[in-house]
Amino acid sequence: MATMTYRDALNAALREEMQRDEDVFLMGEEVAEYDGAYKVSRGLLAEFGPKRVVDTPISELGFTGIGVGAAMVGLRPIVEVMTFNFALLALDQIVNGAAKIRYMSGGQIGCPIVIRGPGGAALQLAAQHSQAFESWYAHIPGLTVVMPATPADAKGLLKSSIRSDDPVIFIEGEMLYNVKGEVPDEEYLIPIGKADVKREGGDATIICHSKTVTPALRAAETLAADGIQAEVIDLRTIRPLDTEAILASVAKTHRVVVAEEGWGFAGVGAEVVDVIQREAFDELDAPVIRVHQADVPMPYNKHLERAAKADAPKIVAAVRRVCYRD
């Protein structure tokens, strides 16, 4: 095991897959000469050269389209978007191109592309740069949506995503890049579509992903001091959703809180709750409660921003409610 940051784990995954397969290449704004806006691609230009680490113009629609075309003819592009807020400009290429080409070609043409970069809020980036769009992409048949929360998951899932024969939306946590954790040194792959139990417990389940995993674990520690043992399930992949892991935990604890960074309406949590009420309704001893961002554009003011976000105290309060301890 090596201890490294989330950023360096992503870098290791990119390097290993580019060494392994010469069809893998990276493209995006500032990925080459500048080593990446968040330094995820540090050192790759020097090792692989400008044909495989490609700086692009500021044109998400254009360079994402080039990536889709490259994937259709057999290459394995990794398209970095500086933030998924900017990927809105490339939605036509992603939704009407990458997601549909295998279906519309009768299986004759694949699209093994990874579109990756940070999503959600950071600190005081305001409404246009703080949006969590995972539920948008998960709504589209043909797209896989991956959101790792730890360095180990970041490496293992990115490597699996690059090897996927279908398009993957790989959303990183901007506030996670400096987080450190143990990462296996050897060849390390994590299957797409498998959730992870980040903490075991028997009194309530907290289902979360990406940047809500850390506050969920903090909430579980606070609750443990009050005699409530919460199980923390990290979805890791939004689509496909690991319904087996969700239902197994519900059957174990009988009380559930779903935490997510994005807005509540039509969010990831809504899908999770639907799975639970359809498949495990009789297991529930309390209604499922959701914790999510306030239904407003993200404020710039740091106090309002903090109030709008899902956090550990809100998760603690929700778990106490489902345990009838409030």
> Does the annotation count 60 as an active-site position?
yes
Which listed residue (60, 80, 174, 260) is catalytic? 60
Q: What is the token pair recorded at 322?
A: 């489902």
> Does the annotation count 22 as an active-site position?
no
Which listed residue (29, 80, 129, 172) is catalytic? 129
**Catalytic sites, residue numbers:** 60, 129
